[in-house]
Structure 1
Amino acid sequence: MKMIDRLIEGIDNKKTPLCLGIDPKIEKIPPHLIEKYEHLSKYGHARAIYEFCYNIIEKSIDDIAIVKFQSAYFELVPYALEYSLKPLIDYAKSKNLIVIADAKRGDIDRTSNAYARGWLTPANYNVDSMTINPLMGTNCIDYFVEQCLLHDKAIIPTVLTSNESTENYMKRLTEVNQEQKLLLDKIGIDLVDGNYAPLYLLFALAVRKYAEDPRLMGKYGWSNIGAVVGATVAPEIIEPLRLIMPYTKFLMPGIGSSQGGDTRKKIENAITAADENGRGIIIPVSSNITDAHKGAEDARDYAQNAYDRLIHFKEEIHWGLESAGKLPASWKI
């Protein structure tokens, strides 16, 4: 079974597109865990991170199908890639969770080849999917796609992110070529002054081209090629992106309070990209869950605090799907 089909069936089984994001900031790991492993000297912080994340994942297994690891927080701490991240990936996969590495890799061709092999091959991190940065060009994306084909993996290129300064670049107008112009016209996307489109639309066209490959298409009509589209993005922008990328799962970060804005409004934005069966979106919540113990009377309850926050967001997403008439009958709780 293709990875994308396992993802869809996992979401249906857990009744939610919510993805548990793991953002283990070392300065926010509960003090008792830091103290527990301080005798390990240089390995101590890595072991504390592992236990912290393990307990949150274990608590959440019955309620989510997807876990996303932000690699930066593991890269920051010495030995955490080896002693925290890799065993956490293996544990999550052993519990049949779909694992996304939020690594946003992208470089010249041979370096992209190394990144792709490092994250996606069975001999290395062996995640199911990873985010990538497509700015270096399609010849660099090709190496990630090659590993998807070899090992039934998925990639999620960034198309339009949720950070505020994305307008500095991604929304800048750029001239389209004749092929792009014809395709956008066929889809029904209007150009500015007849020849210009925002840069993010050109990224979306590149994603579409990869996603259409029948070798990457699952039995439910979705592709192993996804796209990062922020939940902070307005519906009038999400809608044309969905027209351009009809087979692509959208990873839609930003509904957590750390990125600002009204939570329900952002959920409504994200659900714009879902089909009538609630499919087509993955909604990650990360720091809002992993930092849920902040301010609690006893930080030792961090896993329960995180779980309570996760259930809150699961219920909010259900509200959004039901309000939009997109909640499958089998998902009702």
Structure 2
Amino acid sequence: MTTRPEPFGARLRRAMDERGPLCVGIDPHAALLEAWGLTDDVAGCERFARTVVEALADRVAVLKPQSAFFERFGSRGVAVLERTVAEARAAGALVLMDAKRGDIGSTMAAYAATYLDPASPLFSDAVTVSPYLGYGSLRPALDLARESGTGVFVLALTSNPEGAEVQHAVRADGASVGATVLRHLKEENAGAAPMGSYGAVVGATLGDLSSYDLAINGPLLAPGIGAQGATAADLTGVFGAAVRDVVPNVSRGVLRHGPGAAALRAAAERFADEVREAVAGAA
């Protein structure tokens, strides 16, 4: 009898409770490499990624490598990404691959296998996906996540201002596109405990979202903390009663303190403490 892996939602809930609700990006873009005194090439990319993993993977709940910043260096950059994912997971962090993939049919199935199949060199704990070829196009990823104990974060209400023209568009039934994505995710997570494995990406910079049903029984990845202007204290006002399921994503706000490991750890710990305090105040 084959035992199914522990679902991502349960593993994430435990990691958030034990390590604090924080996701830190691994974004080796040119400006950060320069700020760290590193070369903008595959060697600099590897040094950057390894430093972040060594400093944070044993203490933050989630690390989120942005695939594009590795892919720009070609096959050698992807090899660095493979090592980064493996080393971060081995050190105890959950790895969320920020790839924002979205396609149909066999192509979506191939994307899903790339990140959610345990046999893949890029196997991660979860992946970001785009639903804008239709939510149903994500089914290969949603099904494989259930089978492999991994997670999927679907773009719903993103922090970039351009997203509103699609996500706030109103369907014939009167519901916005973003609200429809949230409804689908709530259905995917029905009955899951302590938390479902299907999350939404919802920007922390969006202000009052009380008109949306954010109680999807799944995680809410919240970009926008730090460099984009939102603070931990803003989370309750944005997410309301769903704030306990929020996973704030901080990238530049932590990474700009590198390359020293101690400074990176201190910055991550400060953000995690601020989020804990905000969530506790909302209880």
1:206 maps onto 2:174 in alignment? no
The structural deviation recorded for 1:19 is 1.0
Q: Distance in 1 between the 2:83 and 2:7 partners?
A: 24
Question: Matched residues in 1 for 2:76 and 2:235: separation?
Answer: 33
RMSD: 2.2
Give the Å deviation of 1:86: 0.5
Instruction: Tell me if 1:130 matches 2:127.
Output: yes
Change in CA separation of 1:254 and 1:80 when aligned onto 2, cut-off 3 Å: farther
Residues 1:202 and 1:153: Cα distance change in structure 2 (over 3 Å) = same
Q: Structure 1 150/321 Cα, relative in aligned 2: closer, same or farther at 3 Å?
A: closer
Distance 1:23 1:174, change over 3 A: same
In structure 2, the residue matched to 1:182 is none
Asked if residue 2 in structure 1 is aligned to residue 7 in structure 2, the reply is: yes
Q: In the alignment, what sits opposite 1:250?
A: 220
What number of residue pairs does the alignment pair up?
276
How far the C-alpha of 1:270 sits from its partner, in A, is: 5.1
Q: Match of 1:66?
A: 62
Any stretches of 5+ residues in structure 2 without a counterpart? 1-5
CA distance in 1, matches of 2:183, 2:205: 21
Contact in 1 for aligned 2:21/2:276 (Cα 8 Å): no
CA gap 1:262/1:205 in 2 versus in 1, 3 angstroms: closer
Task: Classify 1:264/1:156 alpha carbon distance in 2 versus 1 (closer, same or farther; 3 Å).
Answer: closer
1:144 aligned to 2:109? no
Give the alignment partner of residue 283 of structure 1, picking from 214, 228, 248. 248
Contact 1:101 1:129 survives alignment (8 Å): yes
Is the Cα contact below 8 Å between 1:159 and 1:203 reproduced in 2? yes
Mark the CA change 1:250 to 1:241 in structure 2 (over 3 Å): closer, same or farther.
same
Tell me the residue number matched to 1:298.
none
Q: Secondary structure at the match of 1:274?
A: helix
Look up the match of 2:276: 318
Distance 1:128 1:75 in 2: 19
Separation of aligned partners in 2, 1:161 and 1:302: 31
Distance between the aligned counterparts of 2:155 and 2:105, measured in 1?
18
Q: How is 1:157-236 mapped onto 2 (pairs within 5 angstroms)?
A: 157-176=154-173, 196-212=174-190, 217=192, 219-220=193-194, 222-235=195-208
Which residue identity lines up with residue 115 of structure 1 in the other structure? Y
1:272 counterpart SS class: helix
Report whether the alignment pairs 1:22 with 2:22: no
| 1:292 matched residue in structure 2 | 257
For 1:155, what is the secondary structure of its paired residue? strand
Report the CA distance between 1:127 and its aligned residue. 0.4
C-alpha separation in 2, matches of 1:286 and 1:63: 16
Deviation at 1:238, TM superposition (A): 4.7
Question: Which amino acid in structure 2 is aligned with residue 108 of structure 1?
Answer: I
Deviation at residue 131 of structure 1 after TM alignment:
0.7
Residue 270 and residue 107 in structure 1: after superposition, are their counterparts in 2 closer, same or farther (change >3 A)?
same
CA contact (8 A) 1:120 1:129 kept: yes
The CA deviation at 1:140 is 1.4
The structure with the greater share of residues assigned to helix is 1
8 Å contact 1:233–1:269 — kept in the other structure? no
Q: In percent, how many aligned pairs have the same letter?
A: 25
**What does the per-residue CA deviation read over 1:124-166, in whole Å, with 9 as the maximum and x for residues that have no partner?**
1110101100111233111101211221111011110011222
Deviations, residues 93-136 of structure 1 (Å, cap 9, x unaligned): 11121110011100122211111111111221110101100111
8 A Cα contact 2:60 2:268, kept in partner? no
8 A Cα contact 1:231 1:269, kept in partner: no
Q: Distance in 2 between matches of 1:322 and 1:164?
A: 30
With normalisation by structure 1, the TM-score equals 0.76
Instruction: Give TM-score, length-normalised by structure 2.
Output: 0.88
- State yes or no: 1:272 paired with 2:268: no
Aligned to 1:41: none
